[in-house]
Amino acid sequence: MFSVIGGLIGIEQLYARQFPSEHVEQNVSFARQLIAPLLDAPLAASTGLLAVLVGFAAAYFLYAKAAKDPLPGNAGGLCARHAGPLLL
């Protein structure tokens, strides 16, 4: 949540006030800031988006036709309900 707020505020402008640099500040549009990761580091951005898609697909196939939560039965050690007092 705070990262979204920081992105909307423009955290770079806040850092520029505290840590000034010698380069000229540019006014960049919101659209340019939105696609900047894809332009500056396309492999990292594409890999992150692929990981999100794989996670959504895995969740869909795991939960789409389940009557109850299948995760505690299949991977009980990962669920906080069954993990014991250390993870609670």
What are the boundaries of each domain within the chain?
A: 2-83
Least confidently predicted of 34-43, 57-66, 75-84? 75-84
Least confidently predicted of 20-24, 44-48, 51-55, 64-68? 20-24
User: DSSP label at 10?
Assistant: T
Q: What is the 3-state secondary structure (H, E, C) of 11-79?
A: HHHHHHHHCCCCCCCCCCCHHHHHHHHHHHCHHHHHHHHHHHHHHHHHHHHHHCCCCCCCHHHHCHHHC
Report pTM. Answer: 0.53
